[in-house]
Structure 1
Amino acid sequence: MLHTVADETADLSPDGLLSAYEAHLQTVLDTVGVDTAVAETDLDRDTIEAVVDGDVAGLTLTEAAAIAALDDDAPDAEAIVLETRDHLLMGMTTAVLDVDAISANLDVDLTGQEVQQAIEGRIDMTLAELAAIQSVIEQRLEE
């Protein structure tokens, strides 16, 4: 799943996590195929093919979860989204970080309020934003 890629990569930078998300989604698509992904998700062929080509930064968490859920061993897309958000919240608690502290350390342009809204699911979070947020949390946990 998406939030567990941090456990599988040594590079906890936003770029490193984004690359790990990309690799995970590409593995799923290699297994199921583009045609199946288009048929079994609400995503269009261009979006699926962009992921195959390595363009995942602008993909939303919900879209990425739809692809990740195609893996037979994965839960459904909604569960993936909820588990990812829960993982971020638990990481924030363990690392003793609030949304303003995360925002101050992001490479992407999100305010503390927008970080909170993204984690709560009130606004769509892209994989680039997820990678940036998760990177701040994971690196703090490593300290």
Structure 2
Amino acid sequence: MLYDAADDPAALSTTELREAYETQIRTVVDDVGVEAAAAESGVDEAQVAALADGAVPEMHVEDAAALLALSDDYPDSEAIVLELRDHLLMGMTTGVLDVDTIASNVALDLSGQEVQQALEGRTSMTLEQLAAIHGYIAERNDR
């Protein structure tokens, strides 16, 4: 479900955490095949092929969820996205974090408002952005 792709996200760099997401998604794509994954998920076939071959930091969370949802091991894509958002927001609550603190502590060119919009689903979030935000929240909760 993306947020559970790594056992200890706080211990990983943004790149390592993003790679854990990609590995989780790639497992599903490998099981169903690139063409079938693209056709069934609605994700661009070139992007699915790029994932099968390596890193896709610009893949959007919604596309990642659509690919994960192809497996019987995961719920539908909407449930994946909603559960991911809930997990991040609960982590913010536990870590007593606000969006401005996150924005100022992650290596993304996002304002607090843009972080909030991404977390709430009002704008699309990439896997790279998710990894930076998720990693920071996890790190703060490990303190």
Q: TM-score range by the shorter chain?
A: over 0.9
Deviations 1:77-116 (A, max 9, x none): 0000101111100000001110011011111111100000
Q: Map residues 1-143 of structure 1 onto 2, 5 A cutoff.
A: 1-7=1-7, 11-143=11-143
2:60 maps to a residue whose letter is: T
Contact 2:62/2:77 (CA < 8 Å) preserved in 1? yes
Cα distance in 2, alignment partners of residues 87 and 12 from structure 1: 18
Cα distance in 1, alignment partners of residues 8 and 43 from structure 2: 27
Contact 1:9/1:20 (CA < 8 Å) preserved in 2? no
Cα distance in 2, alignment partners of residues 140 and 80 from structure 1: 23
What's the secondary structure of 1:35's corresponding residue?
A: helix
Contact 2:10/2:136 (CA < 8 Å) preserved in 1? no
TM-score normalised by L of structure 2? 0.94
How many percent of aligned residue pairs carry the same amino acid? 55
2:42 maps to a residue whose letter is: D
Question: Which blocks of at least 5 consecutive residues in structure 1 are unaligned?
Answer: none
Cα distance in 1, alignment partners of residues 92 and 78 from structure 2: 21
Q: 1:10 to 1:108 in 2, by over 3 A?
A: closer
Q: 1:126 to 1:51 in 2, by over 3 A?
A: same
Deviates more, 1:123-132 or 1:2-11: 2-11
Question: Which blocks of at least 5 consecutive residues in structure 2 are unaligned?
Answer: none
1:57 maps to a residue whose letter is: P
Q: CA deviation at 1:9?
A: 5.7
Cα distance in 2, alignment partners of residues 92 and 9 from structure 1: 14
What's the secondary structure of 1:7's corresponding residue?
A: coil
Q: CA deviation at 1:73?
A: 1.1
Q: CA deviation at 1:10?
A: 7.1
Q: How many residues align?
A: 143
1:127 maps to a residue whose letter is: L
Q: CA deviation at 1:12?
A: 2.7
Contact 1:22/1:56 (CA < 8 Å) preserved in 2? yes
Q: CA deviation at 1:54?
A: 1.6
